[in-house]
Structure 1
Amino acid sequence: MSAADDGRSLGQLVASATTELSALVHDEIALAKVEIRQDVKRGVIGSGAGIVAIVLILFSLPVLSFAAAYGIHNLGLGLAWSFLIVGGAFILLALLLALVAKIILKRIEPPKRTIASAKQSASVLSHAKPHPRASGDTRGAAEGTATEPTVVTR
């Protein structure tokens, strides 16, 4: 279809193509932002669970261990067994939180939809062929006559 068929000039067609390409790039950037935000959110949640596990072990373990061990000891068990039970319980809690952190962090993946969309756009754009122009005659190129393309090497 030539420019004369739909009533638009070459400049209008170029402006329309530029606008559509700009919109495509903006949409792909927006998609990438959404996917990255999701992965960052998952990373923050997973890291937070891991940090909470570490904080629980470091700060609450000594105080709560003594309180729980002496509480168990008051029930009639030996003091050594009381401390062993409390220590094991805190280790199990820490392992459980570490497992939750690992599961959440494992869900982080590359932005697959953005990559696929960008590859598709690149594929479409790589097959686009510009119309050749005559080196001195601009009227012949605008009318759609075939001329030899000018090759520029860098």
Structure 2
Amino acid sequence: MTDTAPVKSAPEPLTQPEEPSIGTLVATISSDLSTLLQHEIALVKSEVKISAKNGGLAAGLFAAAGFLLVLAVIMLSIAIAYLIHLTGLDLAFCYLIVFALYAALAGALAFVGIKKIRNVGPPERAIAQAQETKKVLTNRG
């Protein structure tokens, strides 16, 4: 038996890896940016889904509370009418008095609302900032 050792070839000279071309770098950056944006969009979707679920539940609970409050106001109105009736006034007139109180309250709230709405104006600072930004961007040359 002859002992034959495998023939060793000369070691390959160490070469530096080729630097990627600009086109390859741009393609890699574009791909990475696309992946990053897709992941960020997925994150936003999941967060919005959770927030929307919580917001929907909260809206439902507020609606139920509002409905119960309306029922309570109706019961209070009847109680006020019967309280006025204890003075000896006819029950129909008692209900008219309660109606007049609610009408006066609604009128007062509408009056205050009209005064407040006159103070509403356009967002002047935001508009000015947007115009400034537009002017800067169009004059970039």
TM-score bin (small chain): 0.3 to 0.5
**TM-score, structure 2 length as denominator?**
0.40
Q: Which has the higher contact order (CA 8 A, sep 6+)?
A: 1
**TM-score, structure 1 length as denominator?**
0.37
